[in-house]
Amino acid sequence: MITRQPFGRTGFDSSRILFGAAALAMMKPERVEKTLATIEAAGINHIDTAASYGESELNLAGWLMLNRDRVFLATKTGDREGPEARASLERSLERMGVDFVDMIQLHNLTDEDGWLTAMGPGGALEALIQARDEGLVRHIGVTGHGTFAPAFHLRSLAEYDFTSVLAPYNYSMMAQPEYAKDFELLASTCAERGVALQTIKSIARRRWQSETQRRFSWYEPIRDVEALTRAVHWVLSREDVFLNSSSDGGLLEATLTAASQFTSVSDSPADTDMAQDVESMGIEPLFERGISDAI
């Protein structure tokens, strides 16, 4: 079973692996059923989806009818204007067949214009606060991709007391000094304020090198089981973070197996092992400032 710990100040103990429900975006019904049975058997009790994840919300609906009361359910909106964000939330509730979500997140809020709109008068945050006051959501979070995510999250936290943040975190991303500095400052702020810190791209290898490769995520993941296990353990050895599973559902079981084998920080792989994986597998950071900050 996957260990659990408090998800920030929510009062909910979440499994340290959060199910990235982007994996359900294009799945056939029988595969959806098998995947949800897998997370249930592993003790995963936190689901992270989004309005933009294809059919993910619809694919969760039937399962949620039987399991809603035992999971922390989070979704996201990419809308920045208040009315659009409210409409997005209401559609998500309808698609999943639920009365409320535990958390709504401002999706990938890492650009200046979008940030000013979402955080300003009449923006998405204002609308989501109202939705929370009406009981449609319990908590509000913010997510981000790219090298500017931690810095924007710090700015967002200075403006509003978000419950959770989400940012890329893996060995190759943290090998970039500027990104690592921002991430560490974000982690410190989250620890001080009881903000849950979610991480993504734990098993990312690099951007796709070939147009002919079959794809189930926008980036190429690590498929070698030993290297994947080391990547998962490297993330989990940081006790203050949660790991969101990949949108490549084919790697879910390997990720859960790796996580179930992790018992303490003593299981963390040595930096020399991680560096060797980087060299032998051609692992590269998905985001580099000034080069590749967008998906």
Structural domain harbouring 256:
4-281
Residue 292 forms part of a structural domain: no
Using CA atoms, how far residue 92 sits from 46, 48, 100, 226, in Å, is: 17, 12, 9, 37
Task: Report pLDDT for 295.
Answer: 82
Kindly report each contact of residues 57-64 with a partner whose C-beta sits within 8 Å and lies 24 or more positions away, as own/partner: 57/21, 57/92, 57/95, 57/96, 58/95, 58/96, 59/21, 59/24, 59/27, 59/29, 59/32, 60/21, 60/24, 60/36, 60/96, 61/95, 61/96, 61/97, 63/32, 63/33, 63/36, 64/96, 64/97, 64/98
How many structural domains comprise the chain? 1
Q: What is the pLDDT of residues 253-279, one digit of tens each?
A: 999 999 999 988 888 999 999 999 999
Task: Report pLDDT for 266.
Answer: 87
Residue 59 forms part of a structural domain: yes
pLDDT (average), residues 220-229: 97
Task: Report pLDDT for 144.
Answer: 98
Task: Report pLDDT for 216.
Answer: 82
Helices 149-159 & 177-193 angle (0-180, nearest 10): 30
pLDDT (average), residues 220-225: 97
Q: What is the pLDDT of residues 42-96, one digit of tens each?
A: 999 999 999 999 999 999 999 999 999 999 999 999 999 999 999 999 999 999 9
Residue 169 forms part of a structural domain: yes
Residue 294 forms part of a structural domain: no
- Residue 19: pLDDT band by 50, 70, 90 thresholds? very high
Q: What is the pLDDT of residues 85-119, one digit of tens each?
A: 999 999 999 999 999 999 999 999 999 999 999 99
Residue 286 forms part of a structural domain: no
Residue 14 forms part of a structural domain: yes
Residue 277 forms part of a structural domain: yes
Residue 293 forms part of a structural domain: no
- Neighbour-count burial of 28, counting CB atoms closer than 10 A to its CB (0-12 exposed, 13-18 middle, 19+ buried): exposed
The CATH number of the domain holding residue 259 is 3.20.20.100
Task: Report pLDDT for 215.
Answer: 80
Mean pLDDT estimate for the chain? 96
